[in-house]
Amino acid sequence: MLVTGKSLLEHAQAHNYAVGAFNVNNMEIVQAIIEAAEELNAPVILQASQGGIKYAGIEYIASLGLLAAKNAKVPVALHLDHGTDFDEVIKCIRHGFSSVMIDGSRFALEENIEFSKKIVEIAHAVGVSVEAELGKIGGTEDHITVSDADATFTDPAEAKYFVEKTGVDSLAIAVGTAHGVYKGEPKLDFDRIEEIRNTIDVPLVLHGSSGVPYDALRKAVSLGICKINIDTDVRASFAKAVKEHLNLHPEEIDPRKILGPARELMKETVKEKIRVFGSDGKSWL
């Protein structure tokens, strides 16, 4: 069933777990995520980045995501990930996304507030939820690259001011994670998560969660993280399965035989994450 991002995150917050938000670019990834969520009876978020939308086309991504969500036996939100462009965000709202992320993290505080607030007014008028980002998450996610030197942690007092001014439904915070593959082991600032949690009420979102040790993710959830974003680890499973299959069967030309095992491995990866986030068995349908 298609639901808003807000309803998913409020349920997660009330029941002390995090919803997995997995990036999608094509049919096999969408199916892997939905099958994993249904098998574990878990609410889930399908999210597409602007890069994913550019690759597949908005009509395809929206149609795939909405079809999957509407037919799913679990609650599913279709979410825009890292919307940096006003027109792109509006396009997603028009195509039926039930949630959008407005990423104004490249701006100074007041500009980020202005940018995010504008989207909140429009999205809320049509029942779409809004996630915003405060602080700068390092690494590369599609078209956004933030160097280690530019990455800045979220300030709790600023987060309070930002949420009050914008009216966003959830907040992505920078607390030590980074997008893409980690060079060393990421160190999360748990005290900061706790302080932000004690300062603001809206559900908190953790980006750059691939490659983060599971104990750290579990602790982050126990401290108030309600949505966990995963892209890189699913990509890695996709590539691993395709490579393995083609190494074993170099003559293979049937896309179904190449992509089928990739869909299976991605599903297993998504299931593993769902269990770590504690969202298994949390569907209310």
**Active-site entry in 81, 142, 169, 231:** 81
Is residue 227 involved in binding ligand G3H (CB under 6 A)?
Answer: no
Is residue 79 involved in binding Zn ion (CB under 5 A)?
Answer: no
Is residue 237 involved in binding ligand G3H (CB under 6 A)?
Answer: no
Q: Which of residues 135-164 bind Zn ion (CB under 5 A)?
A: 141
> Within 10 A of 195 (CB to CB), how many other CB atoms are there?
18
Based on CB atoms, which residue is closest to ligand G3H, 228 or 245?
228
Per the annotation, the verdict on 189 as an active-site residue is no
Based on CB atoms, which residue is closest to ligand G3H, 34 or 174?
174
What does 209 bind: ligand G3H, Zn ion, none (CB cut-off 5 to 8 Å by kind)? ligand G3H
Is residue 235 involved in binding Zn ion (CB under 5 A)?
Answer: no
User: Total binding residues for ligand G3H by CB under 6 A?
Assistant: 15
Supply the minimum distance, in Å, between the C-beta of residue 285 and Zn ion: 27
Is residue 231 involved in binding ligand G3H (CB under 6 A)?
Answer: yes
167, 180, 199, 261: residue in contact with ligand G3H (rule CB under 6 A): 180
Is residue 209 involved in binding ligand G3H (CB under 6 A)?
Answer: yes
The CB-nearest residue to Zn ion is 207
Q: Three-state SS across the chain?
A: CECCHHHHHHHHHHCCCCEEEEECCCHHHHHHHHHHHHHHCCCEEEEEEHHHHHHHCHHHHHHHHHHHHHHCCCCEEEEEEEECCHHHHHHHHHCCCCEEEECCCCCCHHHHHHHHHHHHHHHHHCCCEEEEEECECEEEECCEEECCCCCECCCHHHHHHHHHHHCCCEEEECCCCEECCCCCCCCCCHHHHHHHHHHCCCCEEECCCCCCCHHHHHHHHHCCEEEEEECHHHHHHHHHHHHHHHHHCCCCCCHHHHHHHHHHHHHHHHHHHHHHHCCCCCCCC
Question: Which residues make Cβ contacts (< 8 Å) with residue 144, sequence separation at least 6?
Answer: 82, 84, 103, 106, 179
Is residue 6 involved in binding ligand G3H (CB under 6 A)?
Answer: no
Supply the minimum distance, in Å, between the C-beta of residue 21 and ligand G3H: 7
230, 262, 270, 276: residue in contact with ligand G3H (rule CB under 6 A): 230
Is residue 207 involved in binding Zn ion (CB under 5 A)?
Answer: yes
Please, what is the end-to-end C-alpha distance for the chain in angstroms?
8
* Sign of the C-alpha dihedral computed for residues 175, 210, 267 and 263 taken in this order: positive
Based on CB atoms, which residue is closest to ligand G3H, 6 or 82?
82
Based on CB atoms, which residue is closest to ligand G3H, 22 or 245?
22
Is residue 208 involved in binding ligand G3H (CB under 6 A)?
Answer: yes
* Residues forming the site for Zn ion (CB under 5 A): 141, 207, 229
* Residues forming the site for ligand G3H (CB under 6 A): 23, 81-82, 141, 179-180, 207-210, 229-233
